[in-house]
Chains A and B, each alone.
Chain A
Amino acid sequence: MNFSHTWLPFIYLYGLGGILFVSGIIITIKSGSFDLSRKAHKKWMWVLLFGFVWYLMMHALMTWAALDIISVYSVPIVLLGMVVVFIVVTLMLRKTGGA
């Protein structure tokens, strides 16, 4: 398969998208509206970073599956595993007063 159809869009999406995403975090932290000294906002930092990795993994797994590098069935399995991790960590943060 052509690189311009497989990994170039992926690199562009998460390269440029990543720059925008990190800029958003930095700008909101610098402006004071995203205040990591507040426990509730620390939990949001986890959610934000998880969300980025979640989508990056989703696209990477789907591309691998399309190229027959992995089984298509492993895509939902890995993603479900990530959902479980997300729920567990979010609940732990909530128990420690992060929510």
Chain B
Amino acid sequence: MQTFHSIGTTTDWIVMVVYFIVIMLFGSYFGRYTKNTSDFFFGGRRFSWWLITMSIVATGVGSHSFVKYSAKGFEHGISSSMTYLNDWFFIPFFMFGWLPIIVYSKIRSIPEYFEKRFSPSARFLATILLLLYMIGYIGIGFLTLGKAVIPMLPEAFTVFGMTLPITLMGAIMVIAVITGIYITFGGQTAVIFTDLLQGFILLFAGLLLFFFGITYLGGFDLFWNLLPTEWKLPLADFNQPANFNFVGIFWQDAIAGSIGFLFMNQGLIMRFMACKNVNEGRKAAAVNILFVLPISAIVVGNAGWIGKAISVVSPDIVSPSVSPDQIFVVVANIIASPGMFGFIMAALTAALMSTVDTLINATAAIFINDVYRPVQKFVKRNVMSNNERDRKELLVARYASMGVTALGVLAVLAFKNFPTVYEAHGYFHSTLTPPLVVGIFLGVFWKRFTPAAVITTFVGGVALMILGARYPGILIAPFDHGIEMNPDHPYSYIRALYNTLVCTGAAVIVTLTTQWQRKIISTIRGKQNQKMIMNIMVAITIMVFAIVLFNVSMLSVQVFATIAVMILVPLTVTYYVKYDENLNTNGLTAGSINIARNLFKGGDPNDQEGETVLVYLKRVEGDETVVHFSNKDMAKMKAEVGDLVYISDKRKWMGGLKSIHSVFGEPHDEDGTVYITPDQTKHGLFVDGKILEAEKEM
């Protein structure tokens, strides 16, 4: 396989450095509009759909997509776009299930949902799985960054007479250090605005590359006719080859990947939570998936398609044996002029860094929220003031970010031996998402789903997944749809089907046998030596799980051990976990969204559809929790005292940057004026004399 080094010119490197500086300054400028990170992500709820839509582009497109989809475009043609065009099937579940729940229940992280919906132990296990998922994602990000940068670097450099070779892992370690510096200067609080700009730039850079490529080849007709028929098809062959087939990728990406991305990507969820209301979040998701993703599919894959066409017409310029993960850089260098190539590479690497930064900070946030604080609470070591605690948590968050970055670099080792980033990412998604995906999905849509079932999904499901990974030819093969097993990387994609099925199976069986578990536990509770029985049960559970985890004995013994895990875990959870189905599901399942809205508002929602009104602000001292409109304006909005209101600067292009949420207070008689306090004015970043727009929320 042909690999490249020292691609690019000095001009390209200058353009890259300037680009990074401009992006950091842009982010820092908008960062000043925010009081703190927590307010920005969780309490702000201020932004319009279009702003969030564009900021999501950098999260979705920026993260490894250019490298991995160009690679598959080069190997297999336009079907590289299929993973971008299969996200619509779960959108009803997201728009009318998960999205309103995360907004109205005010959860700050996915593990927190597990605690509220199930139990602290479910939260603990969800935290472990989510941290593994996030760290793995960071590892994929670093691997892609390394693969993107390596072709631009020389094979070796000389310092003090010593020649040091540049290796992938060496480059990744340097990138990890630079990423840490980028976090410090770029600032997480400005990430939405940085991503907004980068979203536009990425789309522009990708489409520009396509235009240059088509021009280079002599027009679209020539390009299209150069591609063989099977390369023009939008979907891959049903079940071959093993490293890129439709059915495997359907289960890995359209099912596990789509639910994983929409339901458990903490970075993405933070974006939706920053929307001014649930409806704006729905608009952001709909526009992103319907219109931005198809454009993104062209943007991220076209370098591979162009590379393939060039390799057909001029194999001396682009050899068919070019390493697929390098094709993006190789093609960009051939068809873009010096400087422009630097711009494209800068857009790619900066977006990748932004994605990795977002993931590192989100992972650190999960660590603080779901590990550090619960542990502190458990050991009751909280004899300090709020300021002291904030300072301590900030310090711990910084250490956590460093630790997460280091673990992310280590995670690269698990993926670097895959032939392409695409396959590494596919394997990663197929393996790590199913337990959490099943846990969240059934938690939201099945009220009867119990803590015993979710914990068994996490433990028993994982045990079955380990068995599948260890004996793919026996356990995954029945589900392989005719895909040939590659012994080096068996069933990278279709394992998602097996993993999802075993996790769902564990969840459903345990839920449906809840009454039996309760009967058995009730009998045990009636015994005098109940504690001893339970201690023995826990010890046996750990022992049988260890048999599977550490690959002790033959397959039949491990299967028996897994069955034992599936029986003992639910019993143990039923004994130890206090759970009230009605209390624990209130406002946390799709069937109780109206209760969630009620809890969110603190009263009955007012769904009468009123008009928006334009008002000027008048500063008055008074209650910070309410704002006051005239009787007439409230009538126009069909609002009552106590309803929720959203006030924003009328200039739509600000995207809700200057806005507040509040509550309607007692009305006055000054039409076209809202009475708000100086603090509310400051919080909303409102300017005297500017027209404000007010709308009743509920």
Using CB atoms and an 8 Å cutoff, list the residues of chain A in contact with chain B: 1-2, 4-6, 8-10, 12-13, 16-18, 20-21, 24-25, 27-28, 31-34, 38-40, 44, 47-48, 50-52, 54-55, 58-59, 62-63, 65-68, 72, 83, 97
Contact = CB atoms under 8 A, between A and B. Distances in A.
Nearest to A21: B89
The size bracket of the interface on B is 35 or more
Q: Top 10 A-B pairs ranked by shortest CB distance?
A: A24-B92, A66-B232, A9-B235, A9-B246, A28-B96, A62-B234, A31-B590, A33-B593, A34-B96, A31-B591
A89 to B, nearest CB: 14
Given A12-B238, A27-B97, A33-B96, 19 more contacts: A4-B237, A4-B238, A4-B239, A5-B233, A9-B246, A13-B254, A27-B590, A28-B97, A31-B589, A32-B590, A38-B607, A48-B95, A51-B289, A52-B88, A55-B86, A62-B78, A62-B233, A66-B229, A66-B232
B224 interface: yes
A4 to B, nearest CB: 4
B590 A51 contact: no
Residue with the greatest number of chain B CB neighbours at <10 A, chosen from A1, A27, A59, A66:
A66
B229 A1 contact: yes
Contact of B233 (A38, A52, A54, A63): A63
A8 B481 CA distance: 12
Residue with the greatest number of chain A CB neighbours at <10 A, chosen from B85, B100, B589:
B85
A58 B232 contact: no
B236 interface: yes
B364 to A, nearest CB: 32
Nearest to A61: B234
Nearest to A16: B250
A51 B593 contact: no
B445 interface: yes
B642 interface: no
Contacts of A40: 279, 609
A90 to B, nearest CB: 10
A13 B253 CA distance: 12
Given A28-B96, A38-B607, A51-B88, A9 B236 contact: yes
Interface in B251-276: 254
B97 A33 contact: yes
A21 B234 contact: no
A72 B90 contact: no
Contact of A9 (B100, B247, B294): B247
Given A28-B97, A58-B85, A10 B90 contact: no
A23 to B, nearest CB: 8
B520 interface: no
A48 B239 CA distance: 30
B669 interface: no
A54 B291 CA distance: 10
A42 to B, nearest CB: 12
A18 B86 CA distance: 11
Contacts of B246: 8-9, 12-13
Contact of A1 (B88, B91, B230, B250): B230
Contacts of B254: 13, 17
Interface string B73-105: 000001000000110111111011100100000
Contacts of B90: 20-21, 24
B21 interface: no
Contacts of B247: 9, 12
Given A13-B250, A25-B92, A32-B593, A8 B85 contact: no
A97 B230 contact: no
B290 interface: yes
B290 A51 contact: yes
Contacts of A10: 235
A58 B607 CA distance: 37
Contact of B238 (A1, A5, A58): A5
Contacts of A51: 88, 91, 286, 289-290
Nearest to B234: A62
A6 B92 contact: no
A55 to B, nearest CB: 5
B282 interface: yes
B230 A27 contact: no
B311 interface: no
A48 B235 contact: no
Residue with the greatest number of chain A CB neighbours at <10 A, chosen from B89, B97, B229:
B89
Interface string B213-253: 00000001000100001101111111100000011001000
